[in-house]
Structure 1
Amino acid sequence: MDGTTDPQPRRYKSPSDLARAPPSSPPRTARITSTSTTTITTTRRNSPYLPTPTELALLALYPAILLFGAVYAVLSPTVPYPAAAGQQQQQPPPPPPSYFARKDNLLNTLFVKRGWAWITLAFASFVVTHPALAGRRRRLRLLRAAVLRWALVTVWWVFVTQWFFGPALIDRGFRWTGGKCEAVATVVGEGREGPSPAGVVKEVLTAAACKASGGRWSGGHDISGHVFLLVLGSFFLVQEVGWVVARWGRYLGEERCVVMRDGAVKGAAVEAEREGGGRMEGVEEGVGLPVLEALGLGGRFAAAVVGLCVWMLLMTAIYFHTWFEKLTGLLVALAGLYVTYVLPRWVPALRGIVGLPGI
């Protein structure tokens, strides 16, 4: 018997010894695979069902402005004004505390009262002049989609404020909540003057017709048309201008996510690349430019219109309507914006029609 034989080579040959053997390379590979899987699963995408974080931050400015205006109106000794409190006064109201508390101020009469015309002009000047939309191959597709989005938002503005198969939604809502047109003027009839009979104005269906007949809206819930218009128009321009400029100049790292036709969630640029439109023509010229220069002339005009919208929204928040009327104006505007800019991200059929800004 050879006593010099080394027992070590025989140690792992028995089943019991193999069971006690330390782990070898396969488990180590498994650990690496596990780490890799963890890294992939913790990568987060923006939800296609919600606005992106940047969009949410911008949208949060609107309720913040309305809240600030409501608090300012309560705390300021100069603001308690009939229009701010939503009160109906039988006697003439006191002098307004500010120029912007007057309904005949220039910005209200020349800008807000013609607000959608200004919004449309700013939108048109941007899409016609900006170099990111100047490539011949992509221009018609992008312009068609942009005009369809403008049409969709415009239809919502018309339905809410102008006409909805009869009276607009604001007027219908006012009457559905118990509002009516009260007679406050006198009329000349059959050779005598006297108070306008209730029957002359009680059937009036719109605020404009009530005012024209010498009456006034009374009771009911009056959705703030100013808040609705200013929020809808300004964020429409932010979407149409912001995403184009952000992609052209690569100012924003985040991307909108979309639901593909097979149910997969991917970045919007991935879908655009599949359709041959992912790379924006002229993108090299946009990189490194200051934001104001990258906006171009049309974009700067649109930015000025957005600024005026924000200012007049603040004035409305301070001096006009009750807090609930302003809140419903905001919610109705957000509903139209969601359908136009977020719903297409998770409804491929709708996205195929109206597209996404800058894609």
Structure 2
Amino acid sequence: MEQAPSHHMRLERDRAPESPSLSPIISHATLDELTHAPPARPPPTPLAALLLPHQFLSVVFPVTLALGSLFGFIGGDRPSYFSNKRNIFNMLFVKNGWGWTSLVFWIYLAVVFGQALLNQNHRPEPSSGVGVHRPEQDQASQDIHATATATDASASSSSTTTRTRTRSSPREQDKEPQSLVGTNLPASGTVSNARVASDVIVKALVRWGLATLYWWLISQWFFGPGLFDRVFVLTGGSCSVDGHWSQHHCRRQGGLWSGGVDISGHMFLLTHAFLFLMEELSVFMNVPEAWTAIRDRASARYAVWAVVALNGLWWWMLLMTSVYYHHLAEKMTGLFFGMLFWFCSYATTYKTLAFPSMPDQAVVL
């Protein structure tokens, strides 16, 4: 009488055939894993593929404009401290908005990244750190480990039913955090020998310079008066004091700037400044380990929170502008120009350029 095949024989029969030509990934994967691979993920939506997680905060600005304008329209624009243009926040901060933005950014750059570079140059190469996982750095060691494991598994297959996989199975890989295409966003929780790049400050200063140039052309000088002042004059606006084609100089001479489409300079400046600082602070929004890296550096923590606090003020003053000042069309055009530079740089172009590129998301601070 034939004997029923033993449990050991069934395992041997079900096992994928050994072949020296197969890679360790295939020879150590079970039949179930090979024949029941998880279905391919559907392609992301165009917006999800374009924006990094923190960049979805940009929706705050049109929402703030809409809600603030609606609140003012239904009677919420009654006189208050913020309805007076001479309130301290407007006179001291918003009137010098790009100056404050630049100052806080320089401090943040020097304290957080400059000090990290100095410390890095005076310490030996670390054995591990917080950053992005780079499999190519340890590929050789993985291959050696894969060969050794394959040999051990073949020798012990008759005495054990447990097979060790040297690399992640398709299901395990499916669970790994996926970086967005075209970005340097690291997988959450990964550890490697990432360090602060030597050109991180140069790139950041170039990005600041381009943002400053855009602000200058819009509000200060565009082959004469700024672009907004030119639009105002072209749409029929003028100064009550003859010979002044700039809003700033007109009002300094006691004139009245009226008659044309006065695009909201406040809406433009506050949006532009907020988005610039948000992007430069993005490593602390995308990589939780960045906060751990500055846990023992009080000055770095203060610099980060200074950026957060200034952006909080910019958002509040943008809300007050939405409630109390300008017509809806003037606020909408100001918002458009405020978001235009961000969209053309951080949201799109910088992701494809090696220089100045996006702010580094894979650094040890």
Equivalent residue for 1:103? 85
User: Aligned partners of 2:116 and 2:271: how far apart in 1?
Assistant: 25
Mapped contact 2:55–2:347 kept (Cα < 8 A): no
Would you say 1:154 and 2:237 are equivalent positions?
no
Residue pairs, 1:323-338, within 5 angstroms: 323-338=328-343
Partner of 1:269: none
For 1:78 and 1:309, the matched residues in 2 are separated by 19
Question: How many Å apart are 1:102 and its aligned residue?
Answer: 1.0
What aligned pairs does 1:280-319 form with structure 2 within 5 A after superposition? 285-286=292-293, 296-319=301-324
Aligned residue for 2:326?
Answer: 321
d(CA) in 2 for partners of 1:61, 1:43:
26
Does the 8 A contact of 1:161 with 1:225 survive in 2?
Answer: yes
Residue matched to 1:219: 259
Distance 1:225 1:72 in 2: 21
Residue 352 (1) aligns with residue 354 (2):
yes
Change (3 A) 1:139 1:169: same
Do the aligned partners of residues 44 and 147 (structure 1) sit closer, same or farther apart at CA in structure 2, a change above 3 Å counting?
Answer: same
Which of residues 173, 184, 201 in structure 2 aligns to 1:143? 201
Q: Which runs of 5 or more residues in structure 2 are unaligned?
A: 1-31, 122-194
Contact 1:49/1:342 (8 A) holds in 2: no
User: What secondary structure does 2:196 align onto?
Assistant: helix
Q: Name the structure 1 match of 2:274.
A: 234
CA distance in 2, matches of 1:314, 1:47: 26
Determine whether 1:42 maps to 2:42: yes
Change (3 A) 1:105 1:33: same
> Counterpart in 2 of 1:207?
247
Distance in 1, matches of 2:309 and 2:65, equals: 20
Aligned counterparts of 2:94 and 2:291: Cα–Cα separation in 1: 38
Residue type at the aligned position of 1:297: Y
* CA deviation after TM superposition for structure 1 residue 215, in Å: 2.3
Compared with structure 1, are the counterparts of its residues 309 and 174 closer, same or farther at alpha carbon in structure 2 (3 Å cutoff)?
same
Measure, in 2, the Cα distance between the counterparts of 1:179 and 1:123. 36
Give the Å deviation of 1:322: 0.9
Aligned-residue Cα RMSD (Å) equals 3.3
Conservation of the 8 A alpha-carbon contact between 2:101 and 2:277: yes
Question: Partner residue of 1:83?
Answer: none
TM-aligned CA distance change 1:318 to 1:130, over 3 Å: same
Q: CA 1:355–1:329 in 2, change beyond 3 Å: closer, same or farther? A: same
Change (3 A) 1:122 1:214: closer
CA distance in 2, matches of 1:229, 1:301: 18
Query: How many residue pairs are counted as aligned between the two chains?
Result: 257
Amino acid at match of 1:75: I
CA shift for structure 1 position 238: 1.0
1:28 is aligned to none
Q: Is the 8 A contact 1:49 1:345 kept in 2?
A: no
Q: Deviations over 1:226-272 (max 9, x none)?
A: 1111111111111101x22245534xxxxxxxxxxxxxxxxxxxxxx
CA deviation vs aligned residue, 1:25-48 (integer Å, no higher than 9, x gap)? xxxxxx998974x73352648769
Question: C-alpha distance in 2, partners of 1:239/1:352?
Answer: 17
In structure 2, do the counterparts of structure 1 residues 162 and 34 end up closer, same or farther at CA, with 3 Å as the change threshold?
Answer: farther
* CA separation of 1:328 and 1:284: change in aligned 2, threshold 3 A: closer
Unaligned runs of 5+ in 1: 1-30, 80-96, 184-200, 251-282
- Give the share of equivalent positions with the same residue, in percent: 31
Between the aligned partners of 2:246 and 2:106, the Cα distance in structure 1 is: 31
Tell whether the 8 Å contact from 1:49 to 1:343 is kept in structure 2 after alignment. no
Q: From the superposition, tell whether residues 353 and 48 of structure 1 become closer, same or farther in structure 2 (CA, over 3 Å).
A: farther
Q: Is the 8 A contact 1:244 1:358 kept in 2?
A: yes
TM-score (norm 1): 0.63
Provide the residue aligned with 2:102 in structure 1. Answer: 120
Is residue 2:60 matched to residue 1:61? yes
- Counterpart of 1:89? none
> What does 1:69-108 correspond to in 2, within 5 Å?
69-76=68-75, 79=78, 97-108=79-90
Change (3 A) 1:357 1:170: same
The equivalent position to 1:245 in structure 2, one of 280, 284, 295, is 284
Give the secondary-structure state (helix, strand or coil) at the position aligned to 1:208. helix
Query: In 1, are the aligned partners of 2:111 and 2:300 still within 8 Å (CA)?
Result: no
Cα 1:284–1:121, aligned 2, differ >3 Å: closer, same or farther?
closer
Could you tell me the TM-score, scaled by structure 2's length?
Answer: 0.62
Helix, strand or coil at the partner of 2:305: helix
Three-state SS of the structure 1 residue aligned to 2:210 is: helix
Give, in whole Å, the separation in 2 of the partners of 1:319 and 1:141.
44
Q: Is the 8 A contact 2:350 2:356 kept in 1?
A: no
